[in-house]
Amino acid sequence: MSCRGIRQPSCANPATTDQSTVGLLTDDPALWPKKLTAEERCAIVRKGPIQRLYNLFSGSVQRWAILQENVKDFTIKALSTTRWECRVEAVKAVRYQLPDILNALEALHDFATEKNDSECASSASSLCQELKKWPFMVSCVVWYNVLYVINKVSKILQGPKVSIETMKREISAVIDFLQDFREHGFNAAKIDAREIAEKIEVEMIWPDVRQKKTKRQFDYEGREETTSTAEEHFRREFFLHLVDTALVKTRERLSYMENFFKLYGFLYSTDVMKSTVQAGNLDECCRRFEKTMEDVDAGDLKMEITGAVRSFPPHISSPLEVLSYIYKENILDLYPNLSIALRLLLTLPVTVASGERSFSTLKRLKTYLRSSMSQDRLSSLAVISIEHEIVETVDTDSIVRRFAEAKARRAFVSMLRPIESFVSMFWPIEAFISGDIYRGFCLMLRPIEAFDSMLRPIEAFDSML
């Protein structure tokens, strides 16, 4: 799962929003307006404080060595416009190691001053002042709390064996977390940020913001100006906007799967099957399934589910356990429609992660060094690479042995070809072709044995002399 639909609040007027907050927001491409071009997106990423921090220390080996001396646990990472996990790791390093990073920036400033590198010293000093701002600390904590939950669910949904039931449960958990975080997350983030500010001895002060004034067209118009504190402005423009947008996009993602939930919902577990039978909705669910899939009979499926609920052991609950039990006990003839429905449910792709992995595999296999590879060989190598877990269970030694035996047999046949041409003068070759190799070889040796028997009297007479 991803939140690529999250957008950044309007920051056209820099005076109305704190610059450190804007910088952290613009680090995430998911928050950018859709009208930005590729060049503008790259420029925003380069200007963000987290990306600037990575660019500064990765500029030379000496700078990176200074970073490693001060930052021990998590190394800083660059932001990626494609990989969601890279964003989480980049924010995590700053969230938990901000005091160490500030010490590294101060050490880098002293090193650059000694080397007369004014540009590096200026960049380190400006970044150090920017990271010490109170809004940056709060926003960093908020960002990490949101990204951590989303990234955890994203990893789960990328698994090849994840089911649609798991997807519904995990996305619903994210929605519950975001709803609770919207109510209590801001105060919790301030408490966590206060601990960071106390370590680096920074005042927890919200910067003053200029109040927006509405231009009046006529003198008799009333003034509709509302005054708000800097903290309220930060909470409204950054925190609530971020959480509400994440909630909307997560619910939108969940709504895409509602049709599948409605179609396969009564097959999620034996408990759900029992509740459906007791509620009297089983007939409606089976007819809807038959109308959509056209692979099962609604009446038979209803009878099979009713019988399975009564006869299956109580420890069998999930669809995979039910299907495995049917095949293990050899009762497929009793539940043919139920097995078809369960197989359709279990093979339903939740995400496109598996397909993307297949394309990544082809990219690694089909290189310029293998430009002349045939289609059959490419497909075979791709299957071996994609299904590497199954390949690891195969006994490759036996395959190599069988291949070697097949090669040895071919070499033996090629060795017999000169003998075949010699024997053709004495014996019909049809006997060699029609029989197996052993029989043909014995037939080929008969003329040679006869010729040898003719030479025996000559050898005996020679021995007498």
Q: Give the pLDDT confidence of 18-71 residue by residue, as tens digits.
A: 333 334 434 443 444 444 444 444 444 445 788 888 889 988 899 999 999 998
* Model pLDDT, residue 66: 92
Q: How many other C-beta atoms can be found within 10 angstroms of the C-beta atom of residue 307?
A: 13
Q: Judge whether residue 181 has pLDDT over 90.
A: yes
Q: Judge whether residue 290 has pLDDT over 70.
A: yes
What CA–CA distance (Å, rounded) separates 42 from 55? 13
* Nearest to 137, CA basis, from 21, 45, 50, 246: 21
What CA–CA distance (Å, rounded) separates 122 from 118? 6
What CA–CA distance (Å, rounded) separates 174 from 253? 11
Q: Judge whether residue 286 has pLDDT over 80.
A: yes
What CA–CA distance (Å, rounded) separates 50 from 19? 13
Q: Judge whether residue 411 has pLDDT over 60.
A: no
Q: Where does 352-429 have alpha helices with state H?
A: 353-365, 375-386, 388-392, 396-415, 417-423
* Model pLDDT, residue 452: 53
What CA–CA distance (Å, rounded) separates 135 from 117? 30
- If one compares 364 and 338, the residue with the highest pLDDT of the two is 338
Supply 124's token pair. 């380190």
pLDDT digits (tens, 9 = 90+) for 384-409: 887 778 888 888 788 878 877 776 65
What phi-psi label fits residue 280: left (phi over 0), alpha (psi between -120 and 50 degrees) or beta?
left
What CA–CA distance (Å, rounded) separates 335 from 310? 13
Q: How many other C-beta atoms can be found within 10 angstroms of the C-beta atom of residue 243?
A: 21
Q: Judge whether residue 1 has pLDDT over 90.
A: no
Supply 149's token pair. 């939950």
pLDDT digits (tens, 9 = 90+) for 183-214: 999 999 999 999 999 988 888 888 877 766 66
> Which of 74-91 are b and which e, b meaning 16 or more Cβ less than 10 Å from the residue's Cβ?
eebbebeeeebeebbbbb
Q: Are 145 and 243 in contact (CB under 8 A)?
A: no
Task: Enter the pTM of the model.
Answer: 0.63
